[in-house]
Amino acid sequence: MLWPMLLRGVTMLQRLLRCTIWLLACGCWAAAQAQAQETPPAAAPAAAAQALERAANAVVGVQAVAVAGARSADTLGRQRSGSGVVIDADGLVLTIGYLILEAEQVQLITDDARRIPARIVAYDLATGFGLVRALAPLKLEPVPLGRGRELQDEQLLMIVSGGEAGAVSAARLVSRRAFAGYWEYLLDDALFTAPPRADHSGAGLFNHRGELVGIGSLIVADAGTDAERRVPGNLFVPLDLLPPILPELIARGRSSRSERAWLGINCVDAAGRVRVLRVNEDSPADVAGLEPGDVIIGLDGAPVQSLQGLWTALWQGGSRRAVQIDIERRGEKRSLTVHTVDRAATLRRAEGV
């Protein structure tokens, strides 16, 4: 019993030390900002330190176990670990959706090693957000929500992961741009930071006021926009997407934008060509005969030259419809009819959920 307690104590001390170093750096930065604006700097570092400490304390670990037979287990595994951020006084926690996708068990882990069961509130395909609610008091103060659109390039930010191995570090905003995911996903204005963090899943991204401005989604090989200089980093989903849909997520479990056509393919684009990498078993694309290696050159008669263009065209109609996909396979062109479905209808759920 003593050894686990010592390990938890060391972990909390390490996180506290990292947070202290960051707060000192942020205090200096806030003072410099205040001086540049010709305002009294004395209160700025203290206010920033207090806000960022509250932000760090509101981040928890998230552990989930997917149901048996979950489709997502092939790529995400059944057991998943990441982070989440407390956003209201009743224990509502915002995380990245793939952590809780098709989950039957969810636990929240606090800095003091408490493990609190949680229930899934929402999984939103359109944004990638996930929501869970603690089933026992978290006793943690929620953080205010900020706006990613207000961030400036090269702005200093803070990344916080939660749980027993939680960590705090500084990052800079490298770029903001659209992002098209290979798994039928699209963000119009994603946030890219550097240096990269491996524990990015569901981690909180905070500004100097301690406001949550993003939720961690991916580690990327290039977070920048300079084609000649690759900058590894992380992708964060901007918090701007949450307030307009939060009531809907709580009431319905997803936003209306998530009700859209799904093919069941993973693709990449390069040099104006969209190539199929993987076809999900028993998906609409699989049933229609799409194969890995196929190059998608058109959808419903319109040319396809990028992932962003493909997903945008796919989602123009209803979730259940017939689409014509023009492909090139081993040098030959052909057309296939795919009967799309609503992705939510294919997901497995725990009994009673």
Instruction: CATH number of the domain at 200, please.
Output: 2.40.10.120
pLDDT of residue 225: 87
Do 160 and 265 sit in the same domain of this protein? Answer: no
Give the chain's radius of gyration (CA, Å): 22
Do 108 and 233 sit in the same domain of this protein? Answer: yes
The answer to the question of residue 39 being in a domain is no
The answer to the question of residue 28 being in a domain is no
pLDDT for 11-55, tens place per residue? 445 455 445 545 544 554 454 444 444 444 445 567 777 888 899
The answer to the question of residue 6 being in a domain is no
The answer to the question of residue 78 being in a domain is yes
The answer to the question of residue 232 being in a domain is yes
Do 270 and 192 sit in the same domain of this protein? Answer: no
pLDDT of residue 35: 44
The answer to the question of residue 334 being in a domain is yes
Question: Can you give the three-state secondary structure of 220-285, one letter per residue?
Answer: ECCCCCCCCCCCCEEEEEEHHHCCCCHHHHHHHCCCHHHCCEECCEEEEEECCEEEEEEECCCCHH
Do 197 and 244 sit in the same domain of this protein? Answer: yes
pLDDT for 44-90, tens place per residue? 567 777 888 899 999 999 999 999 988 898 889 999 999 999 999 99
pLDDT for 168-183, tens place per residue? 999 999 999 999 999 9
pTM as predicted = 0.88
Q: Which domain covers residue 280, as residue numbers?
A: 259-346
> Which residue shows structure tokens 């929501």?
131
Do 329 and 206 sit in the same domain of this protein? Answer: no
